[in-house]
């Protein structure tokens, strides 16, 4: 006896071109040159990484003249261990860690960053991490992600930061 | 502000299931809408306008379904509009429908929230069709970890919420998940999906719809629920200083809706609340965000059983999002369930003498919020 057919999956191929904004393009170029950059708001002084091209708090436009470089190291403020859901096109098969990381010199975190080189059970909030450069430059980061240049993050070996340092930086 | 009083005169929902392949998408909406119209003792022709909402289109891969749904919803020659606020959309849609009546623009409005998750893949949609999508749970998990870290809540609080809501769902004939004999231990033994969140602490994927008929005072029937306040807030998904554990947008939304309804002490003045809890830890988080508990104390209400169906502040007695999650309907179900409560029509999960109910929904990156307060008496 065969099961009745209830669903027929139909895959759709869609080729599209993403037009990268000038701010994202500049950020991407700098990443490929090994520099993580952000924009410092001239009003409030907050440093946005990646740059948005504006400060949403003060509603002012920012550009290259507001560019600052931040360190390729920071503090892990929160994380999750993902068990990848196997949907059509999912290439992830094994559990992996995704973390929010507050880079030294940035005012907010970068989200969903892969952390490797440490057993998952030992990953912790407040842990110091550094970038491992050398990602696939052709990987589609669409100019906003860090994956084009940075493979992942790993523990830096520095002492953990105390709670007060990371608690207000979930995002 | 001079405005029309708004009454909820009809409530209808589908039997939410993993797969409703007995119905098309349009059929799903009609099942809920016809039940709401029957409850309101109305027919399709009595409706002046329709307001519908669902989560983003990539979840089913049908773009702008409101266009093809117009005919099925009796909208030939009538206005129909679609609301978009991600997961909170069911709540925002009900708020927009309320405003169409309170502003005097329409007299009788049908509003419907829906999702047919079985016809698509939400995780795929959230990842823009690329590999590596972590779904909503993967995005929210670090926020829940931060809550646990900040509040010092014991690890069994999330599982306790999961058990409570699934027990409540056993009393709700429309609920999707029917998990008998669930215990905190069985929840804690279920595998992590987005650690620290386990599979049994997560919402299911459901097909379903929720519908309500709203009227002005002239059209109101005996035993209607009355809207005493509506509020919507949103904030950017990410900026330095944003706190996703206790978002400012949610606090402001609650303060606004309580002020409209004259509520100064939500814990003591609200009889029943349906809040958007797709992952267990959001119950204690939102208890704090919505002013039912002081910051850091939300989990203590869970621990003491205060939010149980027999507790002082029953939360999600319908089984909540943890038991049924047709995404676009999930927010509206929160609004609808409290309307049923103050009308005394919630059946086996009725809270005796419920007079004031709060409905709540959130969505996006914990950045969209919608709430309403309903009572059994006119404002």
Task: Report which of A122, A112, A97 is spatially closest to residue A146, judged by C-alpha positions.
Answer: A112
Q: So what's the pLDDT on residue A145?
A: 56
- pLDDT over 50 at B93, yes or no: yes
Mean pLDDT value across residues B282-292: 98
3-state DSSP call for residue A99? strand
Which chain B residues have a beta carbon less than 8 Å from that of A163?
149
In a domain? residue A86: yes
The 3-state secondary structure of chain B, one letter per residue:
CCCCCEEEEEEEECCCECCCCCCCHHHHHHHHHHHHHHHCCCCHHHCCEEEEECCCHHHCCCCCHHHHHHHHCCCCCCCEEEECCHHHHHHHHHHHHHHHHHCCCCCEEEEEEEEEHHHCCHHHHHCCCCCCCCHHHHHHHHHHHHHHHHHCCCCCHHHHHHHHHHHHHCCCCCCCCCCCCCCHHHHHHCCEEEECEEHHHECCCCEEEEEEEEEEHHHCCCCCEEEEEEEEEECCCCCCCCCCCCCHHHHHHHHHHHHHHCCCCHHHHCCEEECCCCECCHHHHHHHHCCCCCCCCHHHHHHCCCCCCCCCCCECCCCHHHHCCCHHHHHHHHHHHHHHHHHCCCHHHCCCCCCEEEEEEEECCCCEEEEEEEECCCC
Given an 8 Å threshold on Cβ–Cβ distance, is A171 in contact with B244?
yes
Mean pLDDT value across residues B309-313: 98
Which chain B residues have a beta carbon less than 8 Å from that of A169?
240
Q: How far is A139 from chain B (nearest CA, A)?
A: 12
Q: Strand A96-103 relative to strand A73-82: parallel, antiparallel, unpaired?
A: antiparallel
Mean pLDDT value across residues B243-264: 98
- pLDDT over 90 at B241, yes or no: no
Q: So what's the pLDDT on residue B112?
A: 98
Q: What CA–CA distances, in Å, run from B2 to B5, B9, B102, B120, B341? A: 9, 22, 9, 44, 28
- pLDDT over 50 at B164, yes or no: yes
Given an 8 Å threshold on Cβ–Cβ distance, is A46 in contact with B240?
yes
Give the pair of three-digit tokens for residue A111: 């989200």
3-state DSSP call for residue A90? coil
* pLDDT-wise least confident of A6-20, B79-93, B162-176, B271-285: A6-20
Given an 8 Å threshold on Cβ–Cβ distance, is B132 in contact with A89?
no
> Which distant-in-sequence residues (6+ apart) come within 8 Å of A64 by Cβ?
A26
In a domain? residue A2: no
Mean pLDDT value across residues A7-21: 80
Write out pLDDT tens, residues B322-341.
999 999 999 999 999 999 99
Q: Which of A78, A85, A108 sits opposite B135 (nearest CB)?
A: A85
With contact defined as beta carbons under 8 Å apart, do B162 and B280 qualify?
Answer: yes
% of chain B surpassing 90 pLDDT: 93
Given an 8 Å threshold on Cβ–Cβ distance, is A6 in contact with B141?
no
The sign of the CA dihedral B337, B342, B345, B347 is positive
Q: Compute the distance between CA of residue B71 and CA of residue B82 in angstroms, rounded to an integer.
A: 14
H-helix or E-strand spanning residue A32 = helix A22-32
Strands of the sheet with A67-70, listed across from one edge: A47-48, A36-40, A67-70
Q: How far is A61 from chain B (nearest CA, A)?
A: 15
Strands of the sheet with B108-116, listed across from one edge: B80-83, B49-53, B108-116, B207-216, B6-13, B225-234, B368-375, B356-363, B272-274
Q: How far is B142 from chain A (nearest CA, A)?
A: 5
Mean pLDDT value across residues A32-61: 95
Q: Which of A12, A89, A170 sits opposite B243 (nearest CB)?
A: A170
Given an 8 Å threshold on Cβ–Cβ distance, is B138 in contact with A98?
yes
Q: Which of A14, A125, A140 sits opposite B149 (nearest CB)?
A: A125
Which chain B residues have a beta carbon less than 8 Å from that of A171?
238-240, 242-244
Q: How confident is the model at residue A140 (pLDDT cuts 50, 70, 90)?
A: low
The ipTM estimated for the assembled molecules is: 0.92
Q: So what's the pLDDT on residue A143?
A: 46
Q: Which of A84, A87, A100 sits opposite B142 (nearest CB)?
A: A100
3-state DSSP call for residue A57? coil
- pLDDT over 70 at A138, yes or no: no
Q: How far is A48 from chain B (nearest CA, A)?
A: 8
- Between A93 and A14, the higher pLDDT residue: A93
In a domain? residue A89: yes
> Which distant-in-sequence residues (6+ apart) come within 8 Å of B113 by Cβ?
B52, B53, B54, B89, B90, B93, B94, B209, B210, B211, B326, B328, B329, B330, B331, B332, B333
Give the pair of three-digit tokens for residue B141: 């998990």
Chain B residues contacting A, CB < 8 Å? 19, 21, 61, 118-119, 121, 123-124, 129-135, 138-139, 141-143, 145-146, 149-150, 191-197, 236, 238-245
- pLDDT over 60 at B1, yes or no: no
Q: How far is A86 from chain B (nearest CA, A)?
A: 9
Which chain B residues have a beta carbon less than 8 Å from that of A92?
131-132
Q: Compute the distance between CA of residue B268 and CA of residue B306 in angstroms, rounded to an integer.
A: 12
Q: So what's the pLDDT on residue B81?
A: 96
Which chain B residues have a beta carbon less than 8 Å from that of A87?
121, 123-124, 133
Distance of CA B139 to the CA centre of its chain: 20
Mean pLDDT value across residues A149-159: 94
Q: What residues pair up with B272 in beta bridges, in sequence order?
A: B357
Residue-range domain boundaries for chain B = 6-122+205-219
In a domain? residue A131: yes
Task: Count CA atoms closer than 13 A to B92's CA, side-chain side.
Answer: 23
Q: How far is B128 from chain A (nearest CA, A)?
A: 11
Q: Which residue range is the domain that position A129 belongs to?
A: 22-166
Given an 8 Å threshold on Cβ–Cβ distance, is B145 in contact with A100?
no
3-state DSSP call for residue A40? strand
Backbone phi, psi, residue B110, to 5°: -100, 130
Given an 8 Å threshold on Cβ–Cβ distance, is A89 in contact with B124?
yes
Q: So what's the pLDDT on residue A146?
A: 62
Given an 8 Å threshold on Cβ–Cβ distance, is B142 in contact with A79?
yes
Which chain B residues have a beta carbon less than 8 Å from that of A7?
21, 118-119
Which chain A residues have a beta carbon less than 8 Å from that of B195?
80-81, 83, 120
- B132 phi-psi bin (left φ>0, alpha ψ -120 to 50, beta other): left
In a domain? residue A8: no
- pLDDT over 50 at B179, yes or no: yes
> Which distant-in-sequence residues (6+ apart) come within 8 Å of A2 by Cβ?
none
Mutate which: A43, A50, A80, vs B, most B CBs within 10 A: A80
Q: What CA–CA distances, in Å, run from B314 to B153, B171, B183, B256, B273? A: 20, 14, 19, 22, 7
- Between B209 and B133, the higher pLDDT residue: B209
Q: So what's the pLDDT on residue A28?
A: 86
Which CATH fold would you assign to the domain B6-122+205-219? Peroxisomal Thiolase; Chain A, domain 1 (3.40.47)
Q: What CA–CA distances, in Å, run from B357 to B134, B231, B271? A: 34, 14, 6
Give the count of beta carbons closer than 10 Å to the beta carbon of residue A94: 7
Q: Which of B139, B192, B196 sits opposite A83 (nearest CB)?
A: B192
Which chain B residues have a beta carbon less than 8 Å from that of A127?
none
Q: Mean pLDDT in chain B?
A: 96
In a domain? residue A139: yes
Task: Report which of B296, B242, B304, B301 is spatially closest to residue B275, judged by C-alpha positions.
Answer: B301
With contact defined as beta carbons under 8 Å apart, do B113 and B54 qualify?
Answer: yes
Write out pLDDT tens, residues A66-112.
999 999 999 999 999 999 999 888 999 999 999 999 999 999 999 99
In a domain? residue A143: yes
3-state DSSP call for residue A132? strand
With contact defined as beta carbons under 8 Å apart, do A75 and A101 qualify?
Answer: yes
Write out pLDDT tens, residues B21-74.
999 999 999 999 999 999 999 999 999 999 999 999 999 988 999 999 999 999
- Between A70 and A11, the higher pLDDT residue: A70
Q: How confident is the model at residue B109 (pLDDT cuts 50, 70, 90)?
A: very high
Q: So what's the pLDDT on residue A12?
A: 75
Given an 8 Å threshold on Cβ–Cβ distance, is B194 in contact with A81?
yes
Which chain B residues have a beta carbon less than 8 Å from that of A88?
121, 124
Given an 8 Å threshold on Cβ–Cβ distance, is B145 in contact with A171?
no
Q: So what's the pLDDT on residue A144?
A: 46
- pLDDT over 70 at A1, yes or no: no
Domain total of chain A: 1
């Amino acid at each position: 006896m065969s099961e009745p057919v209830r669903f027929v999956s139909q895959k759709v191929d869609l080729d599209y071109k993403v037009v990268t904004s000038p701010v994202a393009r500049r950020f991407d170029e700098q990443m490929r040159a090994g520099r993580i950059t952000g924009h410092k708001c001239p009003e409030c002084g907050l440093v946005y990484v990646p740059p948005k091209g504006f400060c949403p708090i003060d509603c002012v436009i920012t550009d290259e003249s507001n560019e600052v470089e931040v360190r390729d190291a920071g503090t892990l403020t929160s994380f999750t261990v993902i068990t990848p859901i196997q949907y059509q096109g999912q290439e992830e098969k094994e559990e992996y860690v995704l973390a929010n990381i507050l880079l030294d010199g940035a005012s907010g975190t970068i989200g969903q960053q892969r952390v490797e080189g440490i057993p998952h059970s030992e990953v912790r909030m407040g842990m110091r991490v550094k970038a491992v450069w050398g990602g696939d430059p052709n990987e589609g980061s669409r100019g906003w992600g860090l994956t084009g240049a940075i493979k992942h993050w790993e523990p830096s070996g520095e002492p953990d930061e105390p709670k007060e340092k990371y608690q207000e930086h979930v995002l | 502000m001079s405005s029309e009083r708004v009454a909820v005169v009809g409530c209808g929902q589908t039997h939410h299931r993993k797969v409703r392949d007995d119905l098309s998408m349009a059929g799903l909406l009609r099942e809920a809408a016809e039940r709401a119209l029957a409850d309101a003792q109305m027919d399709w022709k009595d409706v002046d306008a329709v307001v519908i909402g669902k989560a983003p289109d990539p979840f089913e891969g049908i773009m702008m379904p409101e266009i093809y749904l117009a005919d099925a919803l009796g909208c030939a020659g009538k206005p129909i509009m679609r609301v978009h606020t991600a997961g909170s959309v069911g709540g925002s849609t009900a708020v927009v429908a309320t405003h169409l009546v309170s502003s005097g623009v329409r007299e009788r409005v049908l509003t419907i929230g829906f999702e047919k998750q079985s016809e698509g893949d939400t995780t795929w949609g959230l990842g823009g069709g690329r590999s590596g999508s972590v779904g909503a749970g993967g995005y929210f998990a670090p926020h829940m970890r931060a809550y646990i870290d900040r509040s010092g809540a014991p690890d069994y609080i999330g599982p306790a919420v999961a058990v409570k809501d699934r027990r409540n769902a056993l009393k709700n004939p429309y609920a999707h998940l029917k998990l008998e004999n669930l215990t905190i231990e069985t929840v804690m033994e279920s595998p992590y999906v987005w650690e620290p969140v386990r599979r049994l602490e997560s919402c299911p994927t459901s097909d379903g719809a929720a519908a309500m008929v709203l009227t002005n005072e002239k059209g109101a029937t005996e035993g209607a629920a009355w809207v005493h306040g509506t509020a919507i807030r949103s904030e950017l998904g990410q900026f330095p200083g944003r706190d996703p554990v206790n978002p400012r947008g949610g606090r402001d939304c609650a303060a606004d809706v309580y002020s409209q309804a004259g509520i100064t002490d939500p814990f003591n003045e609200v009889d029943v609340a349906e809040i958007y809890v797709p992952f267990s830890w959001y119950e204690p988080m939102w208890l704090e965000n919505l002013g039912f508990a002081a910051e850091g104390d939300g989990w203590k209400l869970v621990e003491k059983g205060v939010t149980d169906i027999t507790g002082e502040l029953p939360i999600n007695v319908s089984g909540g999002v943890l038991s049924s999650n047709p995404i676009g309907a999930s927010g509206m179900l929160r609004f609808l369930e409290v309307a049923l409560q103050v009308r005394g029509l919630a059946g086996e999960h009725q809270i005796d003498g419920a007079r004031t109910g709060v409905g709540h929904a959130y969505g996006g990156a914990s950045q969209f919020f919608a709430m309403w307060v309903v009572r059994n008496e006119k404002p």
